[in-house]
Structure 1
Amino acid sequence: MTIYHHVPRAFALLLSTSIAALAAPVAAQQAPAEDDARAAARDDYHNRADGEIVVTASGLTQLDTLAGTSVMQGIELQRSLAGQIGDVLAKEPGVTATSFAPGASRPVLRGFSGERVKVLVDGIGAIDVSNTSADHAVSIDPLTAERIEVLRGPAVMLYGSQAIGGAVNIIDKRIPRRLLADEPYHFDATAAADTAYDLREAGASADVALGGGFVAHVDGTWRQTNDVRIPGHVASDALRADLLADAEEEALEGHADEAEELREAAEVRGRLPDSATKTWSANAGLAFFRDGSNLGASVGIYDTTYGVPSRPGAGHLHHGEEDGAEHDAEGEDHDHAHEHGAVPISIGLRQYRADLRGTLDLGDGFFRALNTRAGYSDYTHTEFEGDEIGTVFDVEGIESRVELVQARRGTWQGQVGGQYYFRDFRATGSEAYIPPNTTDQWALFALQEVHAGPVQLEFAGRYERTHVAAGTVGFDRSFNAGSGAVSLAHETADGLRFGINVSRVARAPSAEELLADGAHIATQAYEIGNRDLSLEKAWGFEAFVRGRIGPGTISVAAYRNHFSGYIYQDAVDAEIDGLPVLQTVQRAARYSGIEGEISYPFIDSGPFRLIADVRGDYIRASLKDGTPLPRIPPLSLLGALEAQTERFDVRGEVQWTSAQERLAPGETRTDGFVFVNASLAWKPVRGNDSVTVLLQGENLFDVEGRRHVSFTKDFVPLAGRNVKLSVRTSF
């Protein structure tokens, strides 16, 4: 299939004009060396001043945003690296992961997941199907990340009104970001191995100065894991009890073989079957820099194969008895017989991707820069049932954006822009529960800031028009959504900022929410969309305090969201093909929560620092009538103590997650757990961070833990005790 003829002429003209404008500096005279140095300083993330936060996604020059922003880079990123971006960020305040399987885990922000969380690669979407179902992997290799940003507040509207929970922006170097003014090349490499996953991974990247303002880039990664080691049984206590009870019934009725199979399923322990993964990626890019402008492009491939663990005893429920009570409002407990239960399920995913990024320096006028970003993706995702192909998802998409960045005028700065997104989705096979469809969306947005002494005002607006069409079922609808946000803050003389955010957002329903009609492997349910869905609208309110308290830092936010027309899947009292039915509906709902992080150096005496960190979050979400919503994270806290010297960093963590006892209809309780983690970082080159050797011990006491937000929590526990050794070098 091809998408080119779908792109509106006006947008194609806009994009081509932008590219031509960005290419204009190629004909210009070579910039002085000092301009090259300034460009390098703007794009080098390795040398930021301590405590300085630079949010690259917004395109503005401010060092902070008015809403909470988490930034992960350097040793913290090395310490948190995992195969999926959700697991990388799971310890951040207000963040957890879907943890469907080791090979598929997406971020959950403030209890929101799927369509309500935007995952970006350098400012544009991943262009995959990870937002449509929990069993779909995010097509981004964290090994390629240079830094990761978790964005909230008005600036998120630059990237999509659907990002009600926030956005995750992964910054990589596939398109070079700076000239190599002082070196002919720059090389980064990493390698790691561990015990719980039998992990073996390696990655390397190189930037090479070609002369004449050109820089070339290549990178590659490889990662392989086996079935993960777990502390105890695969099945949770509640699921084991059900399996053993079913075994007794089978035995009483004379079905000895079925009874024995159920007993064996209940006693599986030590390793999680069908959880192995194998991933590789490769990218190549080229960029040109001159006169404060740049233009670059890249091509790449991401390939992963991963197992999808099956519910123990699937296909063996007692004579097809109805277990509808075991299914919550979104079918997360998977207690129904399922035709795939007898064979292992795996997913093979491959994405070809091309990207463009450019900046044109506009001089000293009203607009100081024109930024262009575009990406194209050809994505194929195959679900295997044993060795046979079950379902194939083909997605071809493009996303582009153009931004005009305003020059600062006294206390005022900002940017305006436009965005276009197109997706052609096709699924074929036994579980093609969504008909072929296209999504066509364009948007206009603006973000403005006023800094008047200690008072800071930020406001944003976005208008989106979304068109969803599925010709095979005669569906064709358009949605117009307008969103806005305002943030007001006051900063004290000591650098402590107090503020509030107010937002009104509207989200168009996705094609999956509108058109689903069939059995779905991820929920092990029969899903029915709702073609009459309207816009999902919400008012959001947030109060925050962030900044410095003496030598320490603090970032705390309390928030509340009021939804009219909250879209979710409701379990209905019916079955189709032996599966429970999940019907997409809209109801009024409420989300509220608090999250925060405090870091304080108790000792800061030259070469030695002793720092204490405390992080935590709590979320409460209900329908308007008080009924709890499903898969809401429980209270969690993390406390850490870290000693830093010139060549060694030692860190210890206690990570506590409470039990979740506030349950949606049909949900089961999830026990709490405590993980103890420790790490030792060694920098063997004195006075130089170019090499870091990291030894980690995770879940040192081999405690069983399960994430309540996971569809598969009752049969996919978190990893047991894990010892990991990693090396990272840069020169």
Structure 2
Amino acid sequence: MNKIRLLMVVLFACFTIPVLATELTEVIGKVTDATTNEPLSGATIYISDLKTTTTTNANGEFTFRNIPAKGKFLVEVRYVGYKTTSKQVDLAANNQLTFALEQSVIESAEVVITGTPYSSNNKTNSLAVVSVNREKLAQAAGTNIIDAIAKLPGISQVTTGGAISKPSIRGLGYNRVLTIVDGAREEAQQWGDEHGVEVDQFSANRIEVLKGPASLLYGSDALGGVINIIDDLVPAPGEFNGNFTTSYGTNNGLTASSLMLQCNTDGFVYRGRVSYKNAYGFSYKDHTVPNSGFNETNFSGMLGLNKTWGYAHLSLSRFNTNVGLVENGPNANGDYEDENGAVITNSEAQTRKLDLPFQNINHYRAALNSNILLGGGQLKTTLAFQRNIRKEFEESATEPGLNLGLNSYTYDVKYSFANAGVWEPTIGVQGMHQTNVNSGDEFLIPDYVSDNIGAFAYLKRNFDKGALNAGIRYDYKNIDGDDLIADGNQVFTAFNNKFSNVSGSIGFAFEIAKNLNLKGNAGSGFRAPNIAELGANGRHEGTFRYEIGNSNLKQETSLQFDLGLEYSAEKVTVGLNAYSNRIYNYIYPGNFNNETHPFLEEDGSTTTLPLYRYVQTDAELLGGEASIDFHLVKALHFENTFAYVKGTNLASSTALPFIPAASLNNELRFEPTIKGLKDSFIKVGLTNVFKQNRFDSFETETNGYTLLDAGVGTSVKVKNGKINLWITGQNLTDKLYYNHLSRYKPAGIYNAGRNVSFGISVPLL
């Protein structure tokens, strides 16, 4: 603990030294139409590695101030109706930049930050990455941030009603998917079924999803992939702006609003955001699920410096949510009953006041991010502290039964050496120290202390038509679980486990013909067992099972091969991805031989629950994703995606549990040109989910279904930006269906029915 705190202090001191020797540097440029050479006004220019942005004036000109006088950075330019372009720029040799954009009905892939230490565009990244911007996230009308990306190919979610969704990438979820917030890995008891991603969805300017093992750059828990939630880049110097967004959903009465203000005063940058969400129980057909509502309040702020030596940003946030927990499904008539057997009416279920049981979660996060130009290279660091307090209230609204307090200290230090844009070498070290304490009178996991550290080396070789990359990493983790005797019973037995692993990755990306890109990657992954898998002994409120851990579990390792082909022409884009993922010592909970366990309730009664034990097997996941977008008419877009994954238990040649069904998504989008309006659209979509008839012995088959979605929206240009308005509808036919990964399916609770969402986003100042 003291060593980690000392490291934070020393690194922070190092970051502040360059502030004493700053000098103003300007880079100017111009953006034009490649065909007519006419200037483009309102184009946006980004330098992601410096967290800075600017826009062009009426003459197509732009200026970057307070940026380094030297160094190579990827500069990205976007403009509606034109192909996004990006290129490596040596600021020492180019203080005047020019970009000629080509008109296109298809906007090329955005810059990918997740995959490599240096920012790079998708054409030189060997990993499979998809990206969603803020506008698409808002129009998805998800009740949480994971719902908003769940239609991306290869992405699905483990749902607990409308409040909680856990991401699954290519059939892997829980601690196999790492979420990055404010540049730091989120640590928030994410091993649990009913533990969602604890971040303000309004804070996401863009979400990048890396599909496949990312252990090389992120260590344990990135075996399945990474979800990188990226906040806003700071405004240009001298700008003070903000935004207010609000929406309403008819299914569960969800009201969601967020206010943001930010400013850049000669390189001193700051941002503040406050958000609030409130919903009553979700509904399907003529039934509202009692006590499935939630409320959420978020505060966040950022202070930082953007100077010629780089940047340093301190982000602070508090995430608070209260979530109702559903204990029972409907009766034989489909109605919900209270504890006395009386039917709960829909009007009673639509109260916004939560009943018992419910959970209260507070997640505090402080993260210091910096990129310091040092010795011709870049020193990127993220130091973070997170405190997660999770309380579950059963018999009393003031005295929690389960009360978990988790403290996490994380550090991530990478140095990318000076390069000529050809060789890009990077070394790094990452680590974490965690302590968990039980403060309630119920227990599920033991108190524990955990430490892990990892070091890696990464090298990328750029060519005119692509790139090669390779890397190697070593990880070590130690976890100590405490002994606990309560009321004369042995609840937990102490254990000490150590895990270590060497992992690596090699990949390529090349333009084999005009507009045709081929990419491939072979990588190994690593995941140490989480605390629940090692030491669980109990039941969560809101789950329908009793869990027992296994302290003898081995670490998971994987070997995945990924091959992708992308074609991007003027009016059509095609993407194909195939992968094979072999996981050794795959860990999963199972209910074997219908084993049950008695559970003593607070009132003295005994409930019999199915008993789930954590076991291991070798496993294989095979699958792929395909997408094809037609834009034969400029204003008309026909977008289609397909995803499939097959999970096999190699010991028994049977299906792995918790594997999502194959899905096909189709969307027809019309974008008319309307005088006085911008970015207008009308869309109709179908979500086709196929029958899941491959399931483990303790699961059941899930029928296929088709959902109809639609939406309409537009923007009104105003002096300081544009006002966005939209109306979107989900499951418009009010289809009764179960998602195979829904935790409410075993209780006979359907997924949400028809929902219509109304939204508006207004620029401020």
The TM-score range, normalised by the shorter chain, is 0.7 to 0.9
1:347 aligned partner: 359
1:240 aligned partner: none
Residues 1:303 and 2:357 aligned together? no
Count of residues in correspondence between the two structures:
647
Residues 1:145 and 2:138 aligned together? no
Task: String of CA shifts for 1:288-338, please: whole Å, max 9, x gaps.
Answer: 121141112122211111112223269xxxxxxxxxxxxxxxxxxxxxxxx
Aligned with residue 683 of structure 2, among 636, 648, 651: 651
Aligned with residue 277 of structure 1, among 294, 311, 314: 294
Q: Secondary structure at the match of 1:299?
A: strand
Q: Secondary structure at the match of 2:648?
A: strand
Change (3 A) 1:640 1:192: same
Aligned with residue 575 of structure 1, among 596, 605, 626: 596
Counterparts of 1:347 and 1:18, CA distance in 2? 37
Higher mean alpha-carbon deviation, 429-438 vs 187-196, is at: 429-438
Residues 1:724 and 2:757 aligned together? yes
Residues 1:358 and 2:370 aligned together? yes
1:671 aligned partner: 703
1:469 to partner: Cα distance: 0.5
* Partners of 2:214 and 2:222 within 8 A in 1: no
Matches within 5 A, 1:639-718: 639-646=666-673, 647=678, 648-685=680-717, 690-714=722-746, 715-718=748-751
Query: Please, what TM-score do these two structures have when normalized by structure 2?
Result: 0.80
2:121 aligned partner: 63
1:28 aligned partner: 21
1:178 aligned partner: 234
1:76 to partner: Cα distance: 1.0
Aligned with residue 83 of structure 1, among 124, 132, 143: 143
1:613 to partner: Cα distance: 0.6
1:618 to partner: Cα distance: 0.8
* Partners of 1:370 and 1:404 within 8 A in 2: yes
Counterparts of 2:230 and 2:320, CA distance in 1? 19
Structure 2 runs not aligned, ≥5 long: 30-44, 56-76, 79-83, 85-106, 332-354, 484-492, 599-607
* Partners of 2:250 and 2:755 within 8 A in 1: yes
Counterparts of 1:33 and 1:157, CA distance in 2? 36
Counterparts of 2:508 and 2:668, CA distance in 1? 34
Amino acid at match of 2:221: Q
Aligned with residue 394 of structure 1, among 405, 416, 441: 405
1:635 aligned partner: 662
Change (3 A) 1:728 1:553: same
Change (3 A) 1:45 1:547: farther
Residues 1:485 and 2:544 aligned together? no
RMSD of aligned Cα (Å): 2.5
Counterparts of 1:687 and 1:288, CA distance in 2? 28
Counterparts of 2:533 and 2:250, CA distance in 1? 40
Counterparts of 1:136 and 1:613, CA distance in 2? 33
1:156 to partner: Cα distance: 5.5
* Partners of 1:507 and 1:537 within 8 A in 2: yes
Aligned with residue 471 of structure 1, among 467, 482, 496: 482
1:127 to partner: Cα distance: 1.8
* Partners of 1:282 and 1:302 within 8 A in 2: yes
1:475 to partner: Cα distance: 1.4
1:225 to partner: Cα distance: 0.7
1:167 aligned partner: 226
Matches within 5 A, 1:603-618: 603-604=633-634, 609-618=635-644
* Partners of 2:170 and 2:645 within 8 A in 1: yes
Q: Say which structure, 1 or 2, has more relative contact order (CA 8 Å, 6+ apart).
A: 1
Amino acid at match of 1:575: T
* Partners of 1:83 and 1:142 within 8 A in 2: no
Q: Secondary structure at the match of 1:75?
A: helix
* Partners of 1:153 and 1:501 within 8 A in 2: no
Counterparts of 1:35 and 1:284, CA distance in 2? 30
Change (3 A) 1:421 1:547: farther
1:356 to partner: Cα distance: 0.8
* Partners of 2:214 and 2:224 within 8 A in 1: no
Counterparts of 2:307 and 2:455, CA distance in 1? 29
Counterparts of 1:588 and 1:529, CA distance in 2? 18
* Partners of 1:122 and 1:171 within 8 A in 2: yes
Task: String of CA shifts for 1:646-704, please: whole Å, max 9, x gaps.
Answer: 42111111111112111210211212111111111111228996221011121111112
* Partners of 1:86 and 1:99 within 8 A in 2: no
Residues 1:599 and 2:653 aligned together? no
Counterparts of 2:198 and 2:119, CA distance in 1? 29
2:62 aligned partner: none
Residues 1:201 and 2:256 aligned together? yes
Q: Secondary structure at the match of 2:587?
A: strand
Task: String of CA shifts for 1:138-166, please: whole Å, max 9, x gaps.
Answer: 21111111111101356563122422221
Q: Secondary structure at the match of 2:164?
A: coil
* Partners of 2:438 and 2:447 within 8 A in 1: yes
2:384 aligned partner: 375
Q: Secondary structure at the match of 1:105?
A: strand
Q: Secondary structure at the match of 1:513?
A: helix
Change (3 A) 1:38 1:496: closer
Change (3 A) 1:687 1:287: closer
Counterparts of 2:444 and 2:28, CA distance in 1? 55
* Partners of 1:302 and 1:350 within 8 A in 2: yes
Residues 1:17 and 2:10 aligned together? yes
2:34 aligned partner: none
* Partners of 1:84 and 1:106 within 8 A in 2: no
Change (3 A) 1:38 1:76: closer
* Partners of 1:86 and 1:98 within 8 A in 2: no
Amino acid at match of 1:178: V
1:489 to partner: Cα distance: 3.2
Higher mean alpha-carbon deviation, 529-538 vs 685-694, is at: 685-694
Q: Secondary structure at the match of 2:655?
A: coil
Counterparts of 2:8 and 2:552, CA distance in 1? 34
Counterparts of 2:251 and 2:213, CA distance in 1? 40
* Partners of 1:89 and 1:107 within 8 A in 2: no
Judging by fraction of residues, say which structure has more helix. Answer: 1
Aligned with residue 214 of structure 1, among 268, 286, 309: 268
Matches within 5 A, 1:66-465: 66-129=126-189, 131-153=190-212, 157-173=216-232, 177-178=233-234, 180-183=236-239, 185-209=240-264, 211-231=265-285, 269-312=286-329, 344-362=356-374, 364=376, 368-388=377-397, 389-409=400-420, 411-429=422-440, 431-465=442-476
Aligned with residue 559 of structure 2, among 533, 539, 548: 539
* Partners of 2:219 and 2:526 within 8 A in 1: no
Change (3 A) 1:285 1:455: closer
Counterparts of 2:472 and 2:460, CA distance in 1? 12
Amino acid at match of 1:469: D
Query: Please, what TM-score do these two structures have when normalized by structure 1?
Result: 0.84
1:592 to partner: Cα distance: 0.8
1:504 to partner: Cα distance: 2.0
Counterparts of 2:481 and 2:620, CA distance in 1? 32
Change (3 A) 1:292 1:406: same
1:112 to partner: Cα distance: 0.7
Counterparts of 2:721 and 2:458, CA distance in 1? 37
Task: String of CA shifts for 1:395-437, please: whole Å, max 9, x gaps.
Answer: 1112111111233335321422111112212234454121111
2:59 aligned partner: none
Judging by fraction of residues, say which structure has more strand. Answer: 2
1:283 to partner: Cα distance: 1.2
* Partners of 1:416 and 1:447 within 8 A in 2: yes
Counterparts of 2:513 and 2:316, CA distance in 1? 48
Q: Secondary structure at the match of 1:88?
A: helix
Counterparts of 1:546 and 1:188, CA distance in 2? 36
* Partners of 1:517 and 1:528 within 8 A in 2: yes
Aligned with residue 587 of structure 1, among 609, 617, 642: 617
Counterparts of 2:535 and 2:28, CA distance in 1? 53
